[in-house]
Every structure is written in structure tokens, then in C-alpha cells.
Amino acid sequence: MNKDSNIYTLIYASVMVILVALILAYTSETLRPQQAKNEAIDKMRQILTSINVESTNANAEELYDKLIVDTYLINSQGNKVDGNAFAVELTEELRKPIEERNYPVLVADIEGSLKYVLSLRGAGLWGPLWGFISLDDDKKTIYGASFGHAGETPGLGAEIEKPFFAQAFIGKRIFNQEGTFTSVAIVKPGRTVQGKDYVDGISGGTITGQGVDAMLFSGLEAYKPFLTKE
């Protein structure tokens, strides 16, 4: 058989493509449930971190089911709407016009008092940032936080993932004395800012810090109608 004939080449290519596609489709189908589970557990652990609960891959699901007592979506007026708050992709929502966006709210029960977990998205130096902020039952004071990033500089911007950064947010207030929304500012270590609560940024990770600052402001502002509602 002539290896260089057109027909041979064509048949060879088609058989190969079909075979490869079948193998890949099979692998991906077999492994998909496991992958989806990993992603869900990862998200649960971030949410648990934001309510100051430590978890492992093994017990995350159990803790999540125990502590998160209610989940719902809110629209841009702060009214509850139906939907799956855990599965909602905030990135997708933020592409829609403001009136059509839905934001997830997860309600956690920590020893009898309710905490509200809000979801945030933003951009850092190299790529997307995300985070979960939990508020006390007054809906004004931060109870806990967790942050994640896709690819900030290791050792600098990437430090926002570390517990020490997230824990600095505990107890900060996102509304000032007069009740106006101020968010929490990220400042260069050693600096201060007037009129609102602030947290030290990471030295050397200024742009990432600005990204977190902007993410907090715009992200929490979106929840403002919900937070100020009685």
C-alpha cells in the first residue's frame, strides 16, 4: 500500500481523529462527576473560611451542610428571587445589565446568630480575583473573609490568599457612623485613611491590593439595597 497516496492519508487522518475523540470523550465523561465534586468542595471550603471555620477536603461537605442554613439570590433592588445561590456564576451575572443581575447570599448559622456570606469578583494584576465576605447579623460588620486569585505574583500579590490577610478584615465596618456605605479600604502598610475602616495591603503587591479594594467597593455596593433593607 502506498503510504503517500491521498486516499491513505485521508483515511488515516479520519480514523485517528475519530479514535482520539472517542477516547477523550470517554475519559472526560468518566471523570466529570469527580471533577465537579472537587470544584464544589473547593468552593465550599472558601465559603467556610469566610465564616472562620477551618475545613479539610474530607469534612467540607458535612460542615457546609450543617452551617449554611439558607441560600437565596437577590436582585439589584435587594429583593429575594428564586435560584440556586451556590451554583450561580457571578462572572456571568456581572456581564448582564445591572437590572438583570442576581447576587448570591448564603446564610450561615454560627451558634445561633446569623451570618450573611456575600460573593465578590474583581481583577488583580494578572487575572481575576474573587472572595467571600461574611457579615454579622447587623449586616454592617465584617465577620470573616476569604480571597482567591488566578495567578497573582507568588510571594507578593498572591499573599492575599493567606489567612493573615483575610483575618485582618474581621470586625471592620463597611458603613460609617452616619450609616453611609464606605466599604473597607486597602492601604499601603503604615498609611491611614480618613472616614472609613481600612486594612493594610501587601507590600510589593500594590496593584493586587488596589484590585481587592475595588472589588470590595463595587462588590459590596451591589449588595447595598439588600444590606440596608430592614
Partner 1 sequence: MSPKNKLILFNPLSKENPVTVQMLGICSALAVTSKLEPAIVMGISVIAVVALSNVVISLLRNTIPGRIRIIVQLVVVAALVTVVNEVLKAFAYDVSKQLSVFIGLIITNCIVMGRLEAFALGNKPLPAFLDGVGNGLGYALILIVVGFFRELLGSGTLFGFQVIPDKLYEIGYENNGLMILPPMALIVVACIIWIQRSKDKELQEKN
Partner 2 sequence: MQEYLSTFIGSIFVENMIFAYFLGMCSYLAVSKNVKTAMGLGIAVAFVLTVTLPVNYLLENHVLKAGALSWLGDQFDSVNLSFLSFIIFIAVIASVVQIIEMILEKFMPALYNSLGIFLPLIAVNCAIMGGSLFMQQKDFANVGIATTYALGSGIGWLLAIIGIAAIREKLQYSDIPKPLKGLGMAFILTALMGFGFMSFSGIKI
For partner 1, the binding residues (CB under 8 A) are: 3-4, 8-9, 12-13, 16-17, 20, 23-24, 27-28, 31, 34-35, 38-39, 41-42, 150-151, 153-156, 204
Query: With binding defined as CB under 8 A, does residue 150 bind partner 2?
Result: yes
Span interacting with partner 2, options 96-104, 123-131, 132-140, 171-179, rule CB under 8 A: 123-131
Cβ–Cβ < 8 Å for 148, 91: no
Query: With binding defined as CB under 8 A, does residue 10 bind partner 2?
Result: no
Cβ–Cβ < 8 Å for 130, 148: yes
207 binds, among partner 2, partner 1, none (CB under 5 to 8 A by kind): partner 2
Tell me the C-alpha distance between 102 and 163, whole Å: 29
- Mapped onto helix, strand or coil, the DSSP state of residue 206 is helix
CB within 8 Å of 71: residues ≥ 6 apart: 84, 85, 86, 104, 105, 106, 107
Hey, what's the torsion of the CAs at 115, 217, 100, 144, to 10 degrees?
Answer: -20
**Residue spans of beta strands (DSSP E) within the chain:** 68-75, 80-81, 102-110, 113-123, 128-135, 142-149, 185-187, 198-200
Cβ–Cβ < 8 Å for 140, 113: no
Query: With binding defined as CB under 8 A, does residue 21 bind partner 2?
Result: yes
22 binds, among partner 1, partner 2, none (CB under 5 to 8 A by kind): none
Build a one-symbol-per-residue string for 38-67: x at contacts with partner 2 by CB under 8 A, - elsewhere.
------------------------------
Q: Record the cell numbers describing residue 94, joined without a space.
A: 456581572
Residue found under cell 463597611? 174
Span interacting with partner 2, options 17-25, 66-74, 99-107, 182-190, rule CB under 8 A: 17-25
65 binds, among partner 1, partner 2, none (CB under 5 to 8 A by kind): none
CB within 8 Å of 130: residues ≥ 6 apart: 90, 119, 120, 121, 122, 147, 148, 149
193 binds, among partner 1, partner 2, none (CB under 5 to 8 A by kind): none
Minimum Å gap between C-beta 201 and partner 2 is 14
Minimum Å gap between C-beta 24 and partner 2 is 5
125 binds, among partner 1, partner 2, none (CB under 5 to 8 A by kind): partner 2
Minimum Å gap between C-beta 16 and partner 2 is 11
DSSP character for 122?
E
Binding site for partner 2 (CB under 8 A): 20-21, 24-25, 27-28, 91, 95, 125-128, 150, 153, 206-207
